[in-house]
Structure formats: structure tokens, C-alpha cells
Structure 1
Amino acid sequence: MSEDHRPLAIFLMGPTASGKTALACSLADRFPVKLISVDSALVYRGLDIGSAKPDAATLARYPHELIDIRDPSQPYSAAEFVGDAREAMDRVAESGKVPLLVGGTGLYFRALQRGLSELPEADPAVRERIAAEGAQLGWAALHARMAAVDPAAGERIRPGDAQRIQRALEVFELTGRPISELQRQPRQPFPWRVLKLALLPDDRARLHERIARRFEQMIAEGFLDEVRALRARGDLRADLPAIRAVGYRQAWEFLGGEGDATNFRDRGIYATRQLAKRQVTWLRSELDARTFDPDRCDPLPEASMALELFLGMPKTSRQKLPGGI
């Protein structure tokens, strides 16, 4: 068997509220890694409290690439993430360190490692017309239209996922072929050798408790004031990806007059639990990931041992690093 000479990269994955950031920072104290965020909400400036973005002190000590790189008025796609992430990984490697990608957006991890299909570039006129139809007819109606020409996409894409419905219809109009068919075409192999680590809580009740506590803490820290400031800008709409992020959508609707404070809290917690459920389901399909249950034990020692072996670092060398264990 030939030796694998690809550069090294580490994926640290997990559902929301599982402790990914804390573990990533601890590993950065011990190993020659630099952090890259893999989170569809953290890319947006101004989405701080509700996205559980690391605070300024944490980011000053542990800089993360791909945080605060977009204005909330600008949609950000998986294709854009792949390009940005590959550039960031190259920069990290050129600096002599190993990229550690940390986050919970499974679509981004999957697109980065498995590649994206050769799809047509966005057509502003087609996209604008489909968006107008979605606003007039409702995205459920456009989901039904999409499912009629692409049943596989109809099963995979949720009726409320306006961005992906719009893209699927756009691709079909531009090519005459279903997006699912195009996505099955062969892709280029990933040019990095990856160690996958996943925080995978087994006790759903404890995860739900953490989600509820964190959501309540966000409210106490001024989450609604943050969303009020976003609404006051006047250029943001409820159908933008940034505003449809979990928690933000519920806060936006509440501040627009839908429901009361208790209803907002309950809906926000429920939506976050549903997000965590989807993340856990995806992580269980990542059979090559080394998993750790953060509710059973501290994952740091085992994760450190995995990095030591992956990076080929003797224990004596690792102990010379800051915070070596």
C-alpha cells in the first residue's frame, strides 16, 4: 500500500450545545492547529448572541477563520463555504500548522470533503422571479413544483427551506435536468487526509436541558435586543438565510407581533432541539468518525490521544507544547 502524502486536517463535529468550541480551544492549547469555523450562522456579522458565537475574548485568544465574513443581507452558500474553507486550509498549512475545522453544519462538512456537483452558476433574473413566486404562492407550493420534477429533492429538502428549493428550481430551469441527478455525478477526491472527531451525546434529555438553559441565557444576555437591531436596519427580510437561522427566525416573528414571550421561548427551544436531532442523525452516518459522549466523560484526553497519533507526535514532543498533557 502506497503511503498517503496528503496534508493533514481535523474535523471536530457535534450538535449544538455539545461543547465543540471549548474542546477545540483546549486542543489548540496543546497542538499545532489553527481553527476554522464550520457554521452557517457564524459567518454573519451581527448574529452573535443567538448563534452562540464565541465572545471577543475567546476569539482574540483562539482566532477562528470564517467567522464574521458576511453581512446578514448577503446569502452564503455551501459552494462559497467550500471555496473559502479550502483557501483557509491552505493558509493554515502554509503557516506550518494543521487546520482544525470545528462546527455543526453537516452540509458544509459534507460539501467540503465529498465535493460539489458541477452545477450552473446562479442566474439573477431566474432567481429573482422564483423568489417572487415563493413570496406570492408560498414556498410549500414551490416545494410541490420541485418535487414533481425531482422526487429525490422533494424528499430531501424540507418545504420551508426556501434557499434550497429556489436553487433546485433554478437549476432545473437552466439545465432541464433535476439537481439530484447532477449531484450524483462523480466528483474530485478530497486532497486532505482527515481525522474526524465527533461529540455525540447519547442522553437526549441532558442535551435538551443544555439547549433550554443556553437559550434562556441568550435571552438574558440580550438576544431580543440583537434581533431588534437587525430589524431596525430596514434592509433585512424574513426569507434571508441569516434571518432563517434557528432562534433568529422565531425572534424575528415574535418581534413582528406573532405570539407572546413564552411562545417565543418555547418555539425557539423546540427549533433548536430539532436542529440538534438532525445534526445527531447526520453524525451517526459518519461511520469513519471517532465519537465521544461529552456527558459520560471529558473528551479532551481521548481526543488529545487521537491527535497525537494522527499528527505523528511523540508524547515527549507534545508535552513541550503550551498546555501539554
Structure 2
Amino acid sequence: MNPPRLPPAILLMGPTASGKTAVAMALADRFPVELISVDSAQVFRDMDVGTAKPDRDTLACYPHRLIDLISPEESYSAARFCSDALAAMAEITAAGKVPLLVGGTMLYFRALLHGLADLPQADAALRAEIDAEAAAEGWPAMHAKLATFDPSTAARLHPTDSQRLQRALEIYRLTGRPMSELLAESEQQKPPYDLLSIGLLPSERAVLHERIARRFDEMLLAGLDEEVRMLRAKYTLHLNLPSMRCVGYRQTWEAQEGIIPLKELRDRGIFATRQLAKRQITWLTNSFEAENYDCLDPALADRIAARTATFLGA
């Protein structure tokens, strides 16, 4: 007998301005899905304009879980996301619906899919000790040492890859356990779902850049400057908080403080958003086994709906 199928869940991933929300809403119109936001900026309350958070009318029609969770004064981690997302997925599945996780925070997607390895923090003194050994013996000799107790990790590292060799040796000396063993335990934390992973990638990067510029202009017209002033008046904030490090918010704060010229806010905001999109595309291309679709395809929603229908047996 075949084992029973795990409950289905859908991951919809893509860079900023790739049209993820529109596709998610189109799927919600056709299938029994409930949306879970995977966005490290939209977890903050009162940060609406600069995060491109769906407006109230949209959220009323298409509720998103994991939006507006915390104050901009607080921090939100990948570990907390995993806990919150798995709880939401369980509730949605219990209600007979399908979780649809949509967003662009690739670290959160990766943590959910591969778990969070319980690796120790860096130890400066121990690293200095390892570096001293390597200076005396050479990194190939350190690689040979690693191979005696963690052959799996040694097999995937080059004998002169000093940074990764140092980390693997450090972990073993701190925990008494090979890094490969700790990572294997992390892999066993994968969510108990039959997952359809969909990636949205642009066939023409220049067109995505045009979308990014247009959307940032819309944010400025919608009152991004006023929103940042409101946040600074309402909360106790500083530039090193995760909320204020978000793209758009940092540049707006810096313009308000005169750190950058006001006339440069638009260009700097657009450039920072492009850099974010580049990182998201790199993550999506290199770190996930997703079925990728051209986010510029006019028939995008229909193509993904057809794939979803096959996946769900609808």
C-alpha cells in the first residue's frame, strides 16, 4: 500500500514587484486556499505604504496571516516565523483548506523548508586558536583533522577553504558533535506537507526594474515620508532597528535627517529596492527547487492556476 498523501501546501516566492500578491489573489478566487504572508517587513504594525502591504479592502477580501504582528520597536526572527507559519498552516489544514504561503523573504522560506540548525554562536577565542593552528600546520592539515571526525563535511569542503573549515572545527570543539550531524537533525524538521513550490522570475530584468521604479514613485505619492514621520513620533525608533533597516524606510529617515540630500531619496530608494530584488532572485535561483514562471507573462495567473489545479487534483 502507498503511504497516505501528506496535506498539500503551496509556496509562492519571488522578488519584490514580481506580482506575487496578484497571483495569490487569483488563486484564492479559484481554490480553497488561505494566505500566509512570508514578508519580514509586513510583520510590523503601522508600516503600510513602504512595505506595499495590501490595503484594508484587499485584506478584507483576501485575509493574510502573519501581517501586523509586532511593533516597529520589536524584532522578528526566522525561528519565530517558522513557529507562527507552522501553527497557521495546521489551522488552515484542519479547516479543510490549503495553506498558500506568499512573499519574498527567502530566508524565511528556507528556514521553513530546511529547518534551523541549532549551531553554536561564534567563539572569538576559539577561532583565534584554530587560526593559530592553521598558521603553523596549514589548512590542508586542518582539513585532514576534520576528516577524522566529520568526513561528510570534509568531503564537501576544499582543503584550503579556511572560513568554512574554521567554522566546522569550531562547531565540533564547542559541541563535541560533527556539523554534518547537527545539520542532518535540522533537515528532519521539514514541514509535514506535500509542497508545491512556485517561483516568479523576470525574463527581462529591465522590466522588473521599471516596475520597481514605478512602485517606489507610487509609495512616495502615497505618503512614505509622512508614514516615517508618524512612526518616529509614535514609537521609540532608531536606524539600527530591523524595521528601520527595511528598504525605503532607511532612505526616507536619512533624507529627513539630512544624512542624504532629499533630492536623492527617490534614486537611492529605487537602487536599494533593485539590490533587494537581485538578492531575492539569487536566493530563488540557487537555494530552492521551485517550478519557475516568468513573472512578466500576461498569462501568468492562468498558468499557475492550471498547475495548481493539477497539484490539488481539482
TM-score (norm 1): 0.77
Deviation at 1:176, TM superposition (A): 4.4
Greater share of residues in helix: 2
CA 1:32–1:271 in 2, change beyond 3 Å: closer, same or farther?
A: same
- What are the equivalent positions in structure 2 for 1:101-112 lying under 5 Å apart? 101-112=101-112
Question: 2:208 — aligned with what?
Answer: 207
Question: 2:199 — aligned with what?
Answer: 198
- What are the equivalent positions in structure 2 for 1:30-49 lying under 5 Å apart? 30-49=30-49
Q: State the alpha-carbon separation in 2 of the partners of residues 63 and 153 from structure 1.
A: 46
Letter in 1 for 2:163: P
Matched, 1:184 2:196: no
Deviation at 1:15, TM superposition (A): 0.5
CA 1:234–1:100 in 2, change beyond 3 Å: closer, same or farther?
A: closer
Deviation at 1:290, TM superposition (A): 1.4
- What are the equivalent positions in structure 2 for 1:57-96 lying under 5 Å apart? 57-96=57-96
Question: 1:20 — aligned with what?
Answer: 20
Q: State the alpha-carbon separation in 2 of the partners of residues 90 and 233 from structure 1.
A: 35
Q: CA RMSD in A?
A: 2.8
CA 1:209–1:154 in 2, change beyond 3 Å: closer, same or farther?
A: farther
Q: State the alpha-carbon separation in 2 of the partners of residues 236 and 243 from structure 1.
A: 8
CA 1:4–1:288 in 2, change beyond 3 Å: closer, same or farther?
A: farther
CA 1:213–1:309 in 2, change beyond 3 Å: closer, same or farther?
A: same
CA 1:153–1:230 in 2, change beyond 3 Å: closer, same or farther?
A: farther
Deviation at 1:115, TM superposition (A): 0.6
Deviation at 1:185, TM superposition (A): 4.6
Q: State the alpha-carbon separation in 2 of the partners of residues 73 and 176 from structure 1.
A: 33
Q: State the alpha-carbon separation in 2 of the partners of residues 11 and 297 from structure 1.
A: 21
SS of 1:259's partner is coil
CA 1:154–1:205 in 2, change beyond 3 Å: closer, same or farther?
A: farther
SS of 1:76's partner is coil
Deviation at 1:204, TM superposition (A): 0.7
Question: 2:163 — aligned with what?
Answer: 151
Deviation at 1:298, TM superposition (A): 1.9
Question: 2:224 — aligned with what?
Answer: 223
- What are the equivalent positions in structure 2 for 1:122-271 lying under 5 Å apart? 151-152=163-164, 176=174, 181=179, 184-187=183-186, 188=188, 189-233=190-234, 235-271=236-272
Give identity over the alignment, percent: 51
Q: Is the 8 A contact 1:200 1:280 kept in 2?
A: yes
Deviation at 1:258, TM superposition (A): 1.2
Whichever of the two has the greater Rg, that structure is: 2
Q: Is the 8 A contact 1:113 1:190 kept in 2?
A: yes
Q: State the alpha-carbon separation in 2 of the partners of residues 184 and 232 from structure 1.
A: 44
Deviation at 1:152, TM superposition (A): 4.5
CA 1:234–1:81 in 2, change beyond 3 Å: closer, same or farther?
A: closer
Q: Is the 8 A contact 2:86 2:191 kept in 1?
A: no
Q: State the alpha-carbon separation in 2 of the partners of residues 234 and 288 from structure 1.
A: 40
CA 1:46–1:153 in 2, change beyond 3 Å: closer, same or farther?
A: farther
Q: State the alpha-carbon separation in 1 of the partners of residues 166 and 231 from structure 2.
A: 32
CA 1:83–1:19 in 2, change beyond 3 Å: closer, same or farther?
A: same
CA 1:153–1:246 in 2, change beyond 3 Å: closer, same or farther?
A: farther
Matched, 1:276 2:277: yes
Unaligned runs of 5+ in 1: 123-144, 156-171, 314-325
Deviation at 1:3, TM superposition (A): 3.9
Deviation at 1:42, TM superposition (A): 0.4
